[in-house]
Amino acid sequence: MKLYVIFILSILFCMSDARPKSTQKNVKATCGYESCHPTRRDILNVHIVPHTHDDVGWLKTIDQYYYGSRTLIQKAGVQYIIDSVIDELLKDPVRRFVYVESSFFEKWWLEQSVQRQDQVRELVSEGRLEFAGGAWSMNDEAAVHYHSVVDQLTWGLRLLNDTFGECGLPKSGWQIDPFGHSRELANLWAAAGFDGLLIGRIDYQDKSRRIKEQEAEMMWRGSDDLGTESDILTGAMYNTYSPPPGFCFDILCADDPIIDDVNSPDYNVDKMVDKFVSYVSNAAKGYKSNNLIITMGGDFTYQDALVWYKNLDKLIKYVNERQTNMTLLYSTPGCYIKALHDSNTEWPTKQDDFFPYASDPHAFWTGYFTSRPNSKFYERRGNNFLQVCKQLFAQTKAGDPDQSKLYPLRSAMGIMQHHDAITGTEKQHVTNDYHRILENGIQSCLSVANDALNDIMASPTKLNFTLCQLNMTQCDVSENSNAFVVTVYNPLCQPISNYIRLPVIGTDYVVMNAAGIPLPTQMVPLSQTLVSQLKNRESNATHEIIFKADQVPPLGFRSYYVLKNTSSDAFVSEFKKIEKDESSTKADMIAIENENIQVSVDSSTGLVSKITLKNLGNAEVPLTQDILYYNGMKGNNSIFANRASGAYIFRPDGDKPEVGETIRENMILKGPIVQELHQRINNWISQVVRVYSQDNHVEFEWLVGPIPIEDGIGKEVISRFSSNLNTDSTFYTDSNGRQLLKRILNKRPTWDLELEEPISGNYYPVTSMISIKDTTSNRELYVVNDRAQGGSSLKDGEVELMVHRRLLHDDAFGVEEALNETINGVGIVARGSHYLVIGNTDESEPPAVYSRQLALKKLLQTQTFLAPANGLSLTQWLENNNTFTGVLSNMPDNVHMLTLEPWKDKSLLLRLEHYLQKTDDPANLSKPVTVDLEEILPGLKIKSIKETTLGGNQWKDEAKRLQWKASKNMDESFNDIYHKTCPETKSEEVSKNKSTLRDHISNLSKNGKKFEITLSPMEIRTFVLDI
């Protein structure tokens, strides 16, 4: 039954509790730009910005950092930092401080007395304590997926908004430590309403050119699809985020304080002022305006803030007394951005990204794109489950004020985005702690999901659903129950069909659907290779049962009942070994296939040799794929040339990856649901190549490890696809799971690259896909992955992705451990999938669209819940609600529902996204799309709806960003103009540029009955729904 939903579009209704006001009493708010110290137009303004950089885990765990334990690892205690800074700020209203990591701040805040909280509110309301960034952690920018970045930004900004109201609103992004910067993040920061973004690490060659040409501050366009509204003023800071040499006034530093007793033999004011003025004068030459930011702080500084402020007070006083051509002032990132704005400068433009990041000729920070592959996978599954959990809560408990069970996973996912968490650049004991935190979050959410599923199913026997370790092919419920229930939940907003694989013992199983009808099943035996290679697996399974969960409704589920020891019609597949001598005949090509695609294997090499596209007139694409490895460079890091490959750095020893010793045993199995080629490459590398019925892609499921190190050499393992596509040294990688950016071998868009590391210097982050295009035809090849990895195309027609790495040396960037992950002394094993898509751009479903949809299906997979039937008979089970259509009806194919979660009181947060780029399918799905919320959310009684900025902390119609001047017009498309030969820049007209700005509010309801939302390509829109 369709529910009636009445939309009352009134500002009155929108002034709901969705955005609580600050509880602060009668303090006149002068926060924001009003609170900035004045600057001068005639001389250089030196913005002294006191700050601390508090990693949410790195060398120590989060709690060790917060409380300050394990001081022998690092002397760092966040609780002391905030305590100490607040004391010092209260002493003098002139002083300023910026805090960044909301997860730490929350922990501290909850421990404070009401009186202390009031003091802090006063500091914030007067702009003396400012928040920058404000997300749960300072996220990485290469390995993170935008979905989780948006979530953790929202979660951090919500805390600040709930606690401080308008004054808790950060004005500036503050990404001072991430190892390179992504274009999509620039887009997201702009959408979140930030007026500017300050960054620390960019390539050393890029930096030196930018300083020389006064281009270290620029207008950065985050998205060519979105145009002007994605522009953000971005500044790369002179000394990363450190103080000038000699001016670190911290108890952790060895620099001298300012000694101003003229009678003291150590009097140093003149010397210190000279040194500072000289440093700043030189640095200022690299920047266009008469403002310069000087960061005064570093990692875990300000545990004794008195030491800093006492000396900074003096520094400011004595430099200003000198009456040079500069004035020093206490400032914040927000005030610095405002001063840049007010300087009326015209800024250079940028449209590409800041990857890869190199800090010297042999240090390309491209190893962390892949480091700790299992953590990266686990994090991705954490996001998958968090969305499922939030959706189920929103659908069954909307309005319930107690969201405490969601908290642990929301927080855990925020922590996982940190630039030493998802990156894999932390110490091993910290990794273990991240996994503990994530697992706690998942278990807490599992109880939410269990309640929701049981509520909806109305089962007479409560079912106790669990999540199985299907990545380990082990599952207690499916292996050890004579009857069990499988519930497949679909978190996407379109119906999804998916193949479910469950480990079982024997082959006598029947799967019933909600109508009590047995489904077609296929039994696939577990290979000995898999069983022997997957260390630490606890399972007696002999087979996997495979069935299709067909057309699972959006935000809904289908349940299945599985019975053991029942006469079964299952198709039992058996392995057939491929003999090498089969190559002697002409018919040596052995193939696996489905209706759309055929994968041929050359039995003489054991490699895939050709893909036949049946629905493209049997077009043949010669293609081989293999798994190889680079030897990791050994080195003592004493000089640049001795840099070792490590957790951050990828530095192969030699130009070519090795094959190593191989066994190359191939087995094949076929059945009505899936056909598989099992390749055993050697004792530690194997792979299953498979095509499921009806799919238009080929899955390559790699299994790598334990990587042998007995030869004393670390190894970095890649999967390489080699095709006959003419690709002109060009390839494309996604930016955080969204837009694709063009990459050209041995080249950078904005400077003449000098490259001494030809392999690692051509690696880029691949968060969801990498692609190549044939220059002489309309053929394209995509590889979609299941976690962040590093990737490249080092030769025409090739694509490679790094899947696993095990190294024996530290790369000397602070972690002081080799990336040598073990369990019980044995190297870890990593398992994952690549999905190969090949097609022509003129197909009805272009490969770009298919790949993006596939990437979404892999990101937000159907969630498989299993429960023992627990006495619930099949007949009883059939009485349950075993098919559930969620609150949502089908969305158009180009719309993704990014977020549906319980918000505050009786409200929900909804995000809709057009997930295609303009160029993906210009004639069809890449066009703007309009959805009517009344039609797509019939299951919610919505009273009102109002749009917010991306972070959910400002009403869209109240959010006003500063407007800037660029020195030239942006190009219409970076990908179009970035060629090997120097392109003639094609510029769009300024007027055209402006016309892309859309008035979001005008797109809302016209007549009070309909609620239509229009989305342009790549646009995300965020709404608070009152229910």
Residues near Zn ion (CB under 5 A) are: 55, 177
> CA 575 from chain center: how many Å?
39
Hey, is 713 helix, strand or coil?
coil
811 catalytic, yes or no?
Answer: no
Element (H, E) at 393: helix 373-396
- State the minimum distance, in angstroms, from the CB of residue 428 to Zn ion: 18
- State the minimum distance, in angstroms, from the CB of residue 58 to Zn ion: 6
- Cα torsion through 849, 850, 851, 852, rounded to 10: 50
Nearer to Zn ion, 139 or 205 (CB): 139
Using alpha carbons, select from 847, 796, 771 the residue that is nearest to residue 616. Answer: 847
C-alpha distances out from residue 976 to 389, 468, 741, 783, Å = 41, 45, 10, 22
Q: Which two tokens stand for residue 718?
A: 């890649």
- State the minimum distance, in angstroms, from the CB of residue 55 to Zn ion: 4
CB-CB contact of 618 with 595 (8 Å): no
CB-CB contact of 725 with 773 (8 Å): yes
Amino acid identity of 120? V
Report the 3 state secondary structure along 986-1008: CECCHHHHHHCCCCCHHHCCCCC
Buried b / exposed e along 930-942 (16+ C-beta atoms within 10 A): ebebbebbbbbeb
The closest residue (CB) to Zn ion is: 177
Nearer to Zn ion, 98 or 169 (CB): 98
- State the minimum distance, in angstroms, from the CB of residue 99 to Zn ion: 14
CB atoms within 10 A of CB 1007: 8
- State the minimum distance, in angstroms, from the CB of residue 62 to Zn ion: 13
- State the minimum distance, in angstroms, from the CB of residue 70 to Zn ion: 17
- State the minimum distance, in angstroms, from the CB of residue 56 to Zn ion: 9
Nearer to Zn ion, 225 or 420 (CB): 420
DSSP label at residue 655: S
Nearer to Zn ion, 140 or 352 (CB): 140
| Residue 86 phi, psi dihedral angles, 5° rounding | -60, -45
The string of DSSP letters for 99-131 reads E--HHHHHHHHTTS-HHHHHHHHHHHHTTSEEE
- State the minimum distance, in angstroms, from the CB of residue 53 to Zn ion: 6
Q: Which residue has the tokens 């799905």?
A: 925
Nearer to Zn ion, 419 or 748 (CB): 419
> CA 714 from chain center: how many Å?
27
- State the minimum distance, in angstroms, from the CB of residue 418 to Zn ion: 8
Nearer to Zn ion, 54 or 225 (CB): 54
Q: Who's near 532: CB < 8 A, 6+ residues apart?
A: none
CB-CB contact of 561 with 485 (8 Å): yes
Nearer to Zn ion, 55 or 352 (CB): 55
Hey, is 383 helix, strand or coil?
helix
Nearer to Zn ion, 64 or 675 (CB): 64
CB atoms within 10 A of CB 944: 22
CB-CB contact of 673 with 520 (8 Å): yes
Nearer to Zn ion, 241 or 1011 (CB): 241
Paired strand residues for 1015: 929
- State the minimum distance, in angstroms, from the CB of residue 296 to Zn ion: 17
Q: Which two tokens stand for residue 331?
A: 């400032």
Of 55, 83, 177, 971, which one is the catalytic site residue? 177
Nearer to Zn ion, 55 or 821 (CB): 55
Paired strand residues for 233: 196, 219
DSSP label at residue 323: T
Angstrom distance (rounded) from CA 839 to CA 851: 10
| Residue 620 phi, psi dihedral angles, 5° rounding | -105, 130
Angstrom distance (rounded) from CA 637 to CA 641: 8
Indicate which residues carry an active-site annotation. Answer: 177
